[in-house]
Structure 1
Amino acid sequence: MRNRILLFLSMFFLVTNADAQTADSATSLQKAPKPTYRKNLVKMNVTALLLNNYSFSYERLLTRKISFTAGYRIMPKTTIGEISLLNKVYEKIDEDYVDGSKEFVGVDLNQLEVKSSAITAEFRFYTGKKPGARGFYFSLYGKYADFKSNYNLDFESSNGNVMIPMSADNKAFAGGFSFGVQWQIAKRVAIDLTILGAHYGTLKGDIVSTKDLSGLSPADKQDLQDQLDEMLDFGDRTYITSSVSNQGITGTMKGPFAGLKTGISIGIAF
């Protein structure tokens, strides 16, 4: 009888212990932390400020390492000759560039005002073992851009100088790719380095001047036409056509739209 009681107690403790271990294992599996990452990022391109551009983007993770980004950039009306960074670039490119007159490829940058905006849609593909929008990435993007510009052309006629105000309105579509790297610091701060990007597309627009040119002689009108053709010359291809009349200047622009991009953005992940 005593042996039966001992056997029963032994079996009871074995079964109880096994059940406890099973419960503990199930609990540990349920409480195992899943890899977490923040799926939303809001960023500002700080290097764009050097060109008087304000660029913002919102990035949303679609999967563990793929995201979609929507971006918006705006450049308020700006005199190109007042952007110091561009002045330094033009000085390196054109040896005849004079900081006082700021004339580049026949265009007086002190007389050129530009206002622009752009919308960008981008898909990013991140590498690395860690989940989330971090690590090296490759992206494909599309861009729509709108450019408005004003230029005061100083034309030297036979009767003296004539200031001719001109305006242009252009719209562009392009697609491209880029690659870079993004870091997340302290789980909240994002630093996005776009190493290099390139896009290519088409640009269309109009050029208009309503200046009354009836006072110019036929020879002066031809000289003005020649000056415009020289300013708008792009090698052996014609992308811009213009016409001079008594009512002013009209023109159309249709050609390729290409560009490069690079920069550093800083943002917050949430």
Structure 2
Amino acid sequence: MLKKQIYTPNHAIWIKNIFQYLCYLNFGTTTMKLRYLAVLTVGICTIPGLKAQEKSNLIKLNLWPLAVGNISLEYERPINEHLSINGTVSYRPDASLPFKSLWESAFDDDNNILGEAKFGAFSITPEIRFYLGNKKALKGFYIAPFVKYANYSVHTKITVDESNYHREVPISGTLNAFTAGVAVGNQWRLGQNIYLDWRIIGPNYGFNHGTFSGKTSLNADEQREVKKQLDEFDSNILNIKKEVNAEGVTIRTSGPFAGIRTALSVGYRF
């Protein structure tokens, strides 16, 4: 006698995978985590079991990051009237640090190491949105658990001023951060195909790993001056380890990492 097979919807499998990934964040190498997140993001945006609808794609542009040269695009697709998947890709080319006053409050930087820095960023954030109430798909108040991978690039320098010469030690590197969190917001339909999405707040927490280096030969006096400046550079949000030797400078960051997501996005549904 044939046994009846139990069918599990594809979207249910992907939702299960997302929660498995939240647990997986604490294990494995950075490369493995990034590959897993990329596959997961593509997967939830192409779920074959999505409900067929007319104009079921919504692409959005976040207006707030444009003020600091950051481009943030989102794609959202409904699964049913109360559930959708959303993916965000954000990019900022290397430029001066935005919101310098916030950075100054988070770092002790008497020698203006960050003030000379060029800062770039890239992030990818898949999320699931649960719309509350009895409104149609993609409308109303929502709660959205998400995971985020962010890559930050920094290029700066340490200046060594001696009585008879001026020396600059260039430093560059990247910081990778993996976080998870929950956002709340509201989305409105302004016209036939035009939407406004306000992500009110999305606190997230995870961990980071970064390496920054400046490979250049340093004599004993230069090493002492560079080490002095780095000893005066510290942070209340990152764990920083610094090493100075005759071959140059190495700075490593690790430990917990936190952030807040927010957005005011205009979207077009097609």
- Shorter-chain TM range is 0.7 to 0.9
Distance 1:144 1:105, change over 3 A: farther
3-state DSSP of counterpart to 1:62: strand
Distance 1:37 1:126, change over 3 A: farther
- Residue in 1 aligned with 2:268? 268
Task: Let me know the Cα RMSD of the aligned residues.
Answer: 2.4
- How far has the Cα of 1:222 moved from its partner? 2.8
Q: Distance in 2 between matches of 1:75 and 1:197?
A: 20
Specify every segment of 5 or more residues in structure 1 that has no aligned partner in the other structure, as ranges.
1-35, 95-102
Q: Distance in 2 between matches of 1:181 and 1:46?
A: 16
- Residue in 2 aligned with 1:240? 240
Q: How does 1:182-201 map to 2 (within 5 A)?
A: 182-201=187-206
Query: 1:113 is matched with which residue: 104, 115, 118?
Result: 118
Contact in 1 for aligned 2:158/2:226 (Cα 8 Å): no
- How far has the Cα of 1:211 moved from its partner? 2.1
Q: Normalization by structure 1: what TM-score?
A: 0.73
3-state DSSP of counterpart to 1:107: coil
Q: Structure 2 counterpart of 1:73, which letter?
A: S
Contact in 2 for aligned 1:134/1:182 (Cα 8 Å): yes
Residue by residue, what CA displacement relative to the aligned partner does 1:36-81 show, whole Å, maximum 9, x if unpaired?
874321001011101211000110111211110111000011122x
* Number of residue pairs matched by the alignment: 216
3-state DSSP of counterpart to 1:111: coil
Specify every segment of 5 or more residues in structure 2 that has no aligned partner in the other structure, as ranges.
1-52
- Residue in 2 aligned with 1:50? 67
Q: Structure 1 counterpart of 2:67, which letter?
A: L
Distance 1:224 1:109, change over 3 A: closer
Contact in 1 for aligned 2:215/2:249 (Cα 8 Å): yes
Contact in 1 for aligned 2:109/2:232 (Cα 8 Å): no
Q: Structure 1 counterpart of 2:60, which letter?
A: K
- Residue in 2 aligned with 1:255? 255
Q: Distance in 2 between matches of 1:115 and 1:49?
A: 14
Q: Normalization by structure 2: what TM-score?
A: 0.73
Residue by residue, what CA displacement relative to the aligned partner does 1:20-43 show, whole Å, maximum 9, x if unpaired?
xxxxxxxxxxxxxxxx87432100
Contact in 2 for aligned 1:79/1:109 (Cα 8 Å): no
Query: 1:66 is matched with which residue: 51, 76, 83?
Result: 83
3-state DSSP of counterpart to 1:180: strand
Provide the identity percentage: 29
Contact in 2 for aligned 1:90/1:104 (Cα 8 Å): no
3-state DSSP of counterpart to 2:217: coil
Query: 1:210 is matched with which residue: 188, 212, 215?
Result: 215
- How far has the Cα of 1:201 moved from its partner? 0.8
